[in-house]
Amino acid sequence: MTRRKPKLLSSKIVHKNPWYCVRHDKLIWPDNSRGEYFVMELPDGIIMIAEQDQKLLLVEQHRYTLKTSSLEFCTGGLNKRETILHGAKRELQEETGYEAHRLRTIGSFEALNGITPHRMHVVVTDHLRQKKDDLEPSEYDLRVRWIPISKWRQCIQRGKIGDGPTLAAWTIYQAWKATKKDSP
């Protein structure tokens, strides 16, 4: 059975800032009723899983929307014409001060496919070297955290790790590790 798609009547940017824009689309739905849809457009991003010495590298930062801190894998948007691996290296260094070697893309996912076509690309490494202690000025509130893998499930169960993209990336990572013998 093929599903009919809505017909686009018009599309207009209603909000734009340096990180994303919001588009307002007017539609005719498959049942011929008129409707509208708001779409957030933002560049694709990366989420970096760095494992070293049986520990995972995370960043802790205050999330305004949650009004609390969040533990997450290093995440960021790709710049125009930037490759996934270059973006992963850049974001990791900006957010943690670590330099990554031997990176590998292992999958991707749509983070919020009901409101945006944005894709997150999962990148892994187990070869890190601390390059600098001071983070980029824009990352002033980030704290680097190493979480032992043996404590990882506990952190999830206790709600210490609840970031959706981090949990989605972890699922892809576990599936990849189960089928690969040549870690990153």
Span 54-105, pLDDT tens digits:
999 999 998 888 898 999 999 999 999 999 999 999 999 999 999 998 999 9
Please indicate, yes or no, whether residues 70 and 18 belong to a single structural domain of this protein.
no
pTM of structure: 0.88
Residue 61 falls inside a structural domain: yes
Residue 101 falls inside a structural domain: yes
Q: For residue 136, give Cα distances in angstroms to 30, 49, 92, 152, 162.
A: 49, 20, 11, 27, 25
Cβ–Cβ under 8 Å, residues 126 and 103: no
Query: What phi and psi values does residue 100 have, to the nearest 5 degrees?
Result: -105, 145
Residue 184 falls inside a structural domain: no
- Provide the domain count of the chain: 2
Span 9-60, pLDDT tens digits:
999 999 999 999 999 999 999 999 999 999 999 999 999 999 999 999 999 9
Print the domain residue range for 21.
Answer: 7-41
Please indicate, yes or no, whether residues 78 and 161 belong to a single structural domain of this protein.
yes
